[in-house]
Chains A and B, each alone.
Chain A
């Protein structure tokens, strides 16, 4: 495997990027004199100079397309900075060391401006404004919902109002971002090597920002060491590194430092919700008005997460009266990028907390409240008030399996026993719905993809596909589909991804789409080739084409398996006897097919709703924790999940995805938190000593069970499997903590549930009880 930092081009130079120390400041002047004279420095650049050669970076998902506001995002700040960490100037030097040393010699005079880092404060009328041509700090407000919430609340027997603050946190792939740009002066074209999830759309973005034709850009994504949304494009360094290569005349490499990876944010939302229900636990009305603090507006698709948090409410629950308002606020924190779950993890967390709050207020079993509100298996497809058309599932069966898996009665008995000793064990459930493989109209977030399958005269199979792999194994799984169809072995097949010159146009990797789109497209293409192989094999084997099967590298008669021929020989025949044995079978053995899943609705219905997701995987999570009420520390003791992503191609990879996502969700529930100093507006959690993530010893063995409810809308019955797990784990752990603290009747409204936060809630409650 070759990763981005393994690539060394002849005469390669290195970029150094100077970043703003201020969250909000006017740039008065930049003096590059000293930096240009520094050892090994070839070239240096300011934002003003960069703007002479570049246009703003196209937004991955422009808020303008949905009625919001936008701003120009450039590869280097122009005039002012709007977050600490924003690139301000850059150098090119002969070593990384010299590049980093030179940026310290860049003299910038800033005029600091008042800043705001809190989402609610940013919405105040007198808040400092990031973008002077905006009349507030609101990127967009989007309503979702349906029915008659006001009437339903008026009729409700019970109403609960509460709040939940979800912290800012992100994803941290083992490999940080990295780019190499090589401008070829004579061909007037860029070759761009990048740790990227979406090479083809990135090519378009680079061509726009760099003012060249798409044909002047080739993007090559080598092996990627984890992506999770962080490697979707729009980052300023992408076009910056290209520009530096052109202006300096050198191939230029930039590898991100971990402190820079940690700048990229996601997920910070404050939900204020209200739920109406009857004494049987049936929910009739839901209101959730929430604020997402997306930091400064970046060109990557980060802000769209908030959009999909709102659209995905109320997940798999039958709630007919819903009032959702999404407010996307911009602040002087660094921008978001997409993060696995893409906003739907927040929906699942909030919905699952709501269900547990309803259960607690009625003193009902939270599992029973779920049972009474989940969509039933005979009700699919089910259209939600948000517009999602949920394909299929058996949520009640999954819930039953999870109850059985964990041995709920025994757990509850143990819980009672330990409570007598003053120990607080808790069990928490979470249902999780994960809309996947999305298509966002009017953007290069496509819901379809394209694969080519080729068989050579020697019978070797090559697959080229527009989807890319972040290291999760979709390359292997796509090959499995193809070799199964063609009857050859894995040893005879290979796959190429990530090079815009060789692969069919495609959208890359996001939204759990790789198997649903690229996998199904490869299946269709393989079917085309199979038809030709079977036809010619039947002629050689002197039988009817319905009497031919392919497998293990051979074509053979079904009626007489002793009559067989190597598939390689069939392929050779097609290429060499096109006018005899293979007459009428069009060579070559190549097919390019696109798979467009069913169920996507780009045109709004009568209520203005669209459906951007074809598939809806679901899961039921269950966590058992013990809370040390003297320290607030949560010990996760057991974890189980029942997962249904439709047809499974490779259980190992599906389980790997789920286990990784659960680890991420446990981190989100208990520790991961990007913290900005309120005094300086600067990120303080800039390394793994302060940004804590779970390690293997923080997690129990994850008990996994599969349920298979195929999707009626995809060729092989596949549903996405890349994004599920985060919100479910976050919610199950949170519900378990609250269950453990139930004797104290505590509700914690701030995530993550770090020891400090949990202990504070306990102490606060103890004081309340004394009064």
Chain B
């Protein structure tokens, strides 16, 4: 149960958001609220001001020239329904833990800003080479997704700043991909995710691991490695492992290698299938 009184603001445009979050008081920004409201109920977070972005016009998916623009408040259900959603992200959205309630409330940007290591969003956005557009009273700045996730539950967002837009290069969304997600059972958050999108020259050269470490881990490949080499390399790159009641660090590290291998295998098989 939420114990404290707090001010609730629901701005209707980006300028109002900036005004609302520019305060000395502790602010919690929510979009779907699936993480923060739960934390408030458990007294783990006790903000004085809650700013709800759900009416700020920050949802939707659209295509502009060479990028796809994704509103951070786009729910997983909206991602599944929107015509312009990158196929990779559609795949991610279809497997979100928590069923229909979470898919209808949880948002891609909210999950990214919460930066919970086992969540799908951080790894998925890094896989997509996304750019995070951050906004504050001082204007806009752009941060690559790889630089956005600093630590478990920590992002590059500064006080008074919020995620305004997610940009995904369109070229990356049209290629063959694989998203491998391992979880213990349906009700479990992901243990490890592995995203791989084929490179421009049609090889599996980059795998992004989520869940195994405090932030997404990028595994760069030459493209001709054996599966054992990919697994070993991936495991060696998990320098800040994540651990919780569902799986310890060793298990996550090991499974990161396995899932990386499966993602690359799936991409290679599709490429071979196309070549035939």
The stretch of A153-161, A286-294, A681-689, A730-738 in contact with B is: A681-689
Known contacts A670-B185, A695-B185, A755 near B1 by CB under 8 Å: no
A307 to chain B, nearest CB (A): 30
Contact segment of A93-101, A134-142, A470-478, A494-502:
A93-101
Confirm or deny: B155 has a beta carbon within 8 angstroms of a beta carbon on chain A: no
Please name all residues of chain B whose beta carbon is closer than 8 Å to the beta carbon of A101 when the two chains form the complex. Answer: 3-4
Q: Which residues of A contact B62 (CB under 8 A)?
A: none
Interface bits B155-193 vs A (CB < 8 Å: 1, else 0): 000000000000000000000000000101111110100
User: Known: A688-B187, A694-B185. Contact between A759 and B251, CB under 8 A?
Assistant: yes
**Is the CB of A671 closer than 8 A to any CB of chain B?**
yes
Query: Among the listed B2, B4, B185, B248, which residue makes an inter-chain contact with A692, where contact means beta carbons less than 8 Å apart?
Result: B185
Contacts of B4 in A (CB 8 A): 101
CB of A68 within 8 Å of the partner chain: no
Identify which of B185, B245, B254 contacts A698 (C-beta below 8 A): B185
A755 and B189 within 8 A (CB): no
Query: Which of B1, B42, B43, B245 has the most C-beta atoms of chain A within 10 angstroms of its own C-beta?
Result: B245
User: How long is the Cα–Cα vector from A698 to B43 in the complex, in angstroms?
Assistant: 32
A587 to B254, CA, bound (A): 77
Among the listed A630, A690, A760, which residue makes an inter-chain contact with B244, where contact means beta carbons less than 8 Å apart? A690
| Interface residue? B234 (CB, 8 A) | no
Bound together, the chains give a CA A34 to CA B247 distance in angstroms of 41
A370 interface residue, CB < 8 Å from B?
no
> Which of chain B's residues have a CB closer than 8 A to the CB of A462?
none
Render A690-709 as a binary contact track against B, CB cut-off 8 A, 1 for contact.
10111101100000000000
Select from chain A the residue with minimum beta-carbon distance to B244. Answer: A690
Do the beta carbons of A689 and B1 come within 8 Å of each other? no
In the complex, which of the residues A630, A670, A695, A697 contacts B258, with contact meaning CB atoms closer than 8 Å?
A630
Which chain B residues lie closer than 8 Å to A754 at the CB level?
A: 184
Question: Given contacts A631-B182, A633-B182, A675-B245, are A695 and B1 in contact (CB under 8 A)?
Answer: no
Rounded to whole Å, the gap between the CB of B98 and the closest CB of chain A is 10
Q: Which residues of A contact B1 (CB under 8 A)?
A: 96-97, 100
Interface residues of B in 221-276 (CB under 8 A from A): 244-248, 251, 254-255, 258
CA distance A481 to B1 in the complex (A): 45
Residues of B within 8 A of A684 (CB): 245
Q: Is the CB of A693 within 8 A of B187?
A: yes
A756 at the interface (CB under 8 A from B): yes
Q: Most A CB atoms within 10 A — which of B1, B42, B244?
A: B1
A135 to chain B, nearest CB (A): 36
Contact pick for A690, options B185, B246, B255, CB 8 Å: B246
Give Cα A640 to B43, complex, Å: 45
Contacts of B43 in A (CB 8 A): 104
Given A631-B182, A698-B186; A692-B254 close (CB under 8 Å): no
Given A631-B255, A755-B247, A755-B251: A692 and B184 interface contact (C-beta under 8 Å): yes
Q: How far is the CA of A97 from the CA of B40 in the complex (A)?
A: 13
A685 touches B245 (CB 8 A): yes
Chain B residue at minimum C-beta to C-beta distance from A674: B245
Q: Determine the distance from Cα of A616 to Cα of B184 in the docked complex, in whole angstroms.
A: 35
Complex CA–CA separation, A630 to B2 (angstroms): 43
**Whole-angstrom CA separation of A690 from B184 in the bound complex:** 11
Interface of B is mostly: loop
Cβ–Cβ < 8 Å partners of B182 in chain A: 631, 633, 755
A698 vs B188: C-alpha distance in the bound complex, in angstroms? 11
- Bound together, the chains give a CA A259 to CA B1 distance in angstroms of 12
Interface residues of B in 102-145 (CB under 8 A from A): none
Which A residues are in CB contact (< 8 Å) with B186? 694-695, 697-698
Cα distance, A306 to B7, chains bound together (Å): 52
Contact A695 B184 (CB under 8 A): no
| Contact in complex: B184, A755 (CB < 8 Å) | yes
Say yes or no: B251 contacts A756, CB within 8 Å.
Answer: yes
- What residues of B have a CB within 8 angstroms of the CB of A695 in the complex? 185-187
A102 and chain B: residue at smallest CB distance: B3
Task: Report the Cα distance A693→B188, complex, angstroms.
Answer: 9
Q: How far is the CA of A229 from the CA of B194 in the complex (A)?
A: 42
Q: How far is the CA of A689 from the CA of B4 in the complex (A)?
A: 24
A631 touches B245 (CB 8 A): no
- Contact residues in B for A689 (Cβ distance below 8 Å): 189
Which chain B residue has the least Cβ–Cβ distance from A95?
B1
Q: How far is the CA of A631 from the CA of B248 in the complex (A)?
A: 13
Enumerate A737-761 residues with CB–CB distance to B below 8 Å.
Answer: 754-756, 759-760
Q: Which residues of B contact A100 (CB under 8 A)?
A: 1, 3
- Contact check, A692 vs B188: say whether CB atoms are below 8 A apart: yes
Binary interface encoding of chain A residues 515-549 relative to chain B, with 1 for a CB under 8 A from any of its CBs, else 0: 00000000000000000000000000000000000
Residues of B within 8 A of A631 (CB): 182, 255, 258
Give the docked Cα–Cα distance between A725 and B257 (Å).
38
CB distance from B210 to the nearest CB of A (A): 16
- Scan residues 664-686 of chain A and give those whose CB is less than 8 A from a CB of chain B: 670-671, 675, 684-685
| A730 → chain B closest CB, angstroms | 15
A487 to B82, alpha carbons, bound, how many Å?
A: 61
- How far, in Å, is A281 (CB) from chain B's closest CB? 35
Note all chain B residues with C-beta closer than 8 A to A671: 184-185, 188
Please give, as numbers and ranges, the residues of chain A lying within 8 Å of B244 by CB-CB distance.
Answer: 690
Q: How far is the CA of A693 from the CA of B42 in the complex (A)?
A: 21
Are B185 and A759 neighbours in the complex by a CB distance under 8 Å? no
CA distance A684 to B243 in the complex (A): 13
For the complex, what is the distance from the CA of A397 to the CA of B135, rounded to whole Å? 72
Neighbouring A residues of B258 by C-beta, 8 Å: 630-631
What is the distance, in angstroms, from A681's C-beta to the closest C-beta of chain B? 15
Q: Whole-angstrom distance between the alpha carbons of A756 and B188 in the complex?
A: 14
Shortest distance between the CB of A657 and any CB in chain B (Å): 23
A497 to B4, CA, bound (A): 41
Interface string of A449-479 (1 = CB under 8 A from B): 0000000000000000000000000000000
**Complex interface: chain B residues within 8 A of A259 (CB):** 42
The chain B residue with its CB closest to the CB of A752 is: B184
Q: How near does chain B come to A143, taking the closest CB pair, in angstroms?
A: 37
**Which of chain A's residues have a CB closer than 8 A to the CB of B188?**
671, 692
Contact B185 A756 (CB under 8 A): no
Do residues A690 and B187 form an inter-chain contact, with CB atoms below 8 A?
no
Q: Is the CB of B189 within 8 A of A633?
A: no
A633 to B184: give the CA distance in the assembly, Å.
7
Question: For A96, what are the chain B residues with a Cβ–Cβ distance below 8 Å?
Answer: 1
Name the residue of chain A whose CB is nearest to the CB of B41. A257
The answer to whether A690 and B245 touch across the interface, beta carbons within 8 angstroms, is: yes
Give bound CA distance, A293 to B191, whole Å.
Answer: 30
- Pick from A97, A690, A755: contact of B3, CB below 8 A: A97
New A-B pairs, 16, CB < 8 Å, besides A633-B182, A693-B187: A97-B3, A100-B1, A101-B4, A630-B258, A633-B184, A671-B184, A685-B245, A689-B189, A690-B244, A690-B245, A690-B246, A692-B184, A692-B246, A755-B251, A756-B248, A756-B251
Report 18 cross-chain contacts, Cβ distance below 8 Å, ordered by A residue: A96-B1, A97-B1, A631-B258, A633-B184, A671-B185, A675-B245, A684-B245, A688-B187, A689-B189, A690-B246, A692-B185, A695-B186, A698-B185, A698-B186, A698-B187, A755-B191, A756-B247, A756-B251
Interface residues of A (CB under 8 A from B): 96-97, 100-101, 104, 259, 630-631, 633, 670-671, 675, 684-685, 688-690, 692-695, 697-698, 754-756, 759-760, 763
The 3 closest A-B pairs by CB, nearest first: A690-B245, A695-B186, A756-B251
List residues of B whose CB falls within 8 A of some A CB.
Answer: 1-4, 42-43, 182, 184-189, 191, 244-248, 251, 254-255, 258
